[in-house]
Structure 1
Amino acid sequence: MSYKAEYIWIDGTEPTARLRSKTKVLPDGAALPDWGFDGSSTNQAPGDNSDCVLKPVFSCPDPVRGGDHKLVLCEVYLVDGTPHPTNNRARLLPVAERFAVQDSWFGIEQEYTFFQAGRPLGFPETGFPAPQGPYYCGVGADEVFGREIVEKHMDACIEAGLAVSGINAEVMPGQWEFQIGPAGPVEVADHLWIARWLLYRIAEDFNVAATLDPKPAKGDWNGAGAHTNFSTKAMREGYDAIITACEALGGEGKVAEHIEGYGHGIADRLTGEHETAPFDVYTYGVSDRGASVRIPWQVEVDKQGYIEDRRPNANCDPYNVTRLLVGTCCAALEKAGQV
């Protein structure tokens, strides 16, 4: 007997990478080998030197095919054995290892929007639906669109063993969110990429597309983000470390560095309206969803916990987001002796 391994990787499309996948049939019990692909068709190689290599780094049960079939997340390498320039996971690994003693945890809130026939699911053929307000965490056919897909996606994430921790309808019709975490910087990003693939794949069966566009509908509608909750052991044990992390994120050069790594089109979403801070201004505050970084009110009460970086776009690469947060915050905590 054989099993199917769906090899999944992140391509080189700019400004926002896409997911690609293909199926390898393997004998039962066989290990997952490296595999090649045509990088000239994924914006990762020229046509006259097109071979790239897929190296499996994470696998889980395939809830779409069932049985013993697997989903296999891969890093992309060049044939000389070095990471491909688009391989952001490889850039994260040494940072995560360097600061591993601080035991970073992440929870990423992935917002996304369903589209069908060229418009957000739930939008009328002409004009616009009623203004946002009743849709967030709503219930009823006049307020919620795409729930069947969302439920199937959540079930699939659970069956795959991903660290999914919840779902909810978002502020705009056809807009939803799922959460991955708590998990470490590499694990949370691996799980998020697989969860994204499952979302696209399951929505296929309903002739619906899911998009991570950070501003899928222009005008007076919320954008789509990937709010990132972050803590270290010191932050989970004391408030001073939380303030140190918040201050570090606003340090010299850090605002621009993080914004650059938080997803394309971020200026369209971070306008200072619709529960955002302007992309070029850094602020933090308790219970403030209009700040760049929010300290939850319970964290201030308990004097320990986590922070929420509200800036990452829905289309961010989570390997970049976790690398930047660990690199900035953990270095500052180390310097302050708060580890």
Structure 2
Amino acid sequence: MTKYKLEYIWLDGYTPTPNLRGKTQIKAFDSFPTLEQLPLWGFDGSSTKQAEGSSSDCVLKPVRHFPDPARTNGVLVLCEVMMPDGKTPHPSNKRATILDDEGAWFGFEQEYFFYKNGRPLGFPETGFPAPQGPYYTGVGYSNVGSVARQIVEEHLDLCLAAGINHEGINAEVAKGQWEFQIFGKGSKRAADEMWMARYLMQRLCEKYEIDIEYHCKPLGDTDWNGSGMHANFSTSYMREVGGKEYFEKLMAAFGDAREDHIAVYGPDNHMRLTGKHETASIHTFSWGVADRGASIRVPHSFVNNGYKGYLEDRRPNSMGDPYQIASQILKTISTVPTEVSAAA
């Protein structure tokens, strides 16, 4: 029997954006445990805004698990929060109620800032560094510093070793700003892996004494970029049938549901979706071919392939909950009939 370190990870009850939480228990197994072997585990919900002190019990239900490459015999256990009966989803448990479709593919582009001593990594103690321009996909100490690339490379290795479908990294437009991409088939799977990638990044940064700043516009009303979490999406029908008529109906549905999308695309998005810095206004909906300033960017490949493939919703922000983002996208798609002609 081997003793495994089981790190139970969940989302707390803070709003509008939940925080990641984690605690460890040790269990002995003959080999790496299956999901079914992982027990329910209680926690004090009064400390995470998920219960009152007079009745504080909440329950963690394992739903996904991954090897933990940072620990010997470690297991990362992603959990849903349940009520004390262990069966009823807690009101904060968004994962349990979202729409899911294994034929729906999602690719999330997580932007974020490294922060140290209350300012982006690489910023001087007062004022600002040189203007934006050389930092995006930049190379060299003056552009990316001495530690950021070390962190993102280590994070990439951790994600891949854990079996998370991490698809790429790059330095972003602002000093101290970076991005990683996560892809998954099915809204739950994609969102699960985004939350786990966030967890691994935040835990990794502890040893560097650096924080991750997810706020979508941490530098306020300045010419410095904000952070998004662009959502690339497709369904089986979009990839295999598509067509111009269907696409136009789909865009009309997204326009009609604009407020529903904005409501779950992350807090403070009005600070980011200003119509500047390659964003569409929060008050409008638009689409455009290769247009980074549109609400939904349509790749040339989509049009050239007979209006088939994937689309990119550029409105979700870096603080958004990928469970709710993916679910809302699927809700809107579900309102569009698929019996229309596929002719371009």
Give the TM-score range, shorter chain. Answer: over 0.9
CA–CA separation in structure 1 for the residues paired with 2:297 and 2:178: 21
Whether contact under 8 Å (1:264, 1:315) holds in the other structure is yes
CA–CA separation in structure 1 for the residues paired with 2:111 and 2:315: 13
Q: What TM-score do the two structures reach when normalised by structure 2?
A: 0.92
> Which residue matches 2:69?
63
Deviations 1:29-69, CA, capped at 9 Å, x for gaps: 4621000000000011111011000000000000211x331
Deviations 1:187-218, CA, capped at 9 Å, x for gaps: 00000000000000011111100121101112
User: What letter corresponds to residue 190 of structure 1 in structure 2?
Assistant: D
Change beyond 3 A, Cα 1:300–1:75: same
Change beyond 3 A, Cα 1:209–1:107: same
Deviations 1:11-43, CA, capped at 9 Å, x for gaps: 011221100000010002462100000000001
How big is the shift at 1:248? 1.5
SS across alignment from 1:159: helix
> Which residue matches 2:297?
294
How big is the shift at 1:239? 3.3
> Which residue matches 1:126?
126
CA–CA separation in structure 2 for the residues paired with 1:209 and 1:157: 18
- Return 5+ residue gaps in structure 1 as ranges: none
CA–CA separation in structure 2 for the residues paired with 1:167 and 1:333: 37
- Return 5+ residue gaps in structure 2 as ranges: none
Q: What pairs up with 1:60-99 in 2 under 5 angstroms? A: 60-65=66-71, 67-80=72-85, 81-92=87-98, 95-96=99-100
How big is the shift at 1:300? 1.5
How big is the shift at 1:331? 2.9
Whether contact under 8 Å (1:192, 1:318) holds in the other structure is yes
Deviations 1:311-334, CA, capped at 9 Å, x for gaps: 001011100011001111133144
> Which residue matches 2:286?
283
> Which residue matches 2:110?
110
Matched, 1:309 2:313: yes
> Which residue matches 1:14?
15
How big is the shift at 1:262? 0.8
Q: What pairs up with 1:166-181 in 2 under 5 angstroms? A: 166-181=168-183
Deviations 1:84-106, CA, capped at 9 Å, x for gaps: 111110111xx225xx5xx1111
Whether contact under 8 Å (1:245, 1:333) holds in the other structure is no
User: What letter corresponds to residue 52 of structure 1 in structure 2?
Assistant: C
Whether contact under 8 Å (2:237, 2:338) holds in the other structure is no
How big is the shift at 1:151? 0.4
CA–CA separation in structure 1 for the residues paired with 2:280 and 2:207: 37
> Which residue matches 1:46?
52
Change beyond 3 A, Cα 1:38–1:337: farther
CA–CA separation in structure 2 for the residues paired with 1:182 and 1:41: 32
> Which residue matches 1:187?
189
User: What letter corresponds to residue 126 of structure 1 in structure 2?
Assistant: T
Whether contact under 8 Å (1:242, 1:307) holds in the other structure is no
CA–CA separation in structure 2 for the residues paired with 1:111 and 1:211: 9
SS across alignment from 1:48: coil
SS across alignment from 2:142: coil
Using the aligned pairs only, state the percent identity. Answer: 50
CA–CA separation in structure 1 for the residues paired with 2:341 and 2:46: 48
Whether contact under 8 Å (2:61, 2:80) holds in the other structure is yes
How big is the shift at 1:3? 0.6
> Which residue matches 1:212?
214
Matched, 1:265 2:232: no
CA–CA separation in structure 2 for the residues paired with 1:307 and 1:245: 11
Name which of structure 1's ranges 25-34 and 103-112 shifts more when overlaid on structure 2.
25-34
CA–CA separation in structure 2 for the residues paired with 1:170 and 1:246: 29
Q: What TM-score do the two structures reach when normalised by structure 1?
A: 0.94
Change beyond 3 A, Cα 1:337–1:40: farther
How big is the shift at 1:298? 2.1
Whether contact under 8 Å (2:65, 2:77) holds in the other structure is yes
User: What letter corresponds to residue 6 of structure 1 in structure 2?
Assistant: E
CA–CA separation in structure 1 for the residues paired with 2:248 and 2:138: 35
How big is the shift at 1:249? 0.7
Q: What pairs up with 1:179-258 in 2 under 5 angstroms? A: 179-218=181-220, 219-237=222-240, 238-240=242-244, 241-251=246-256, 254-258=257-261
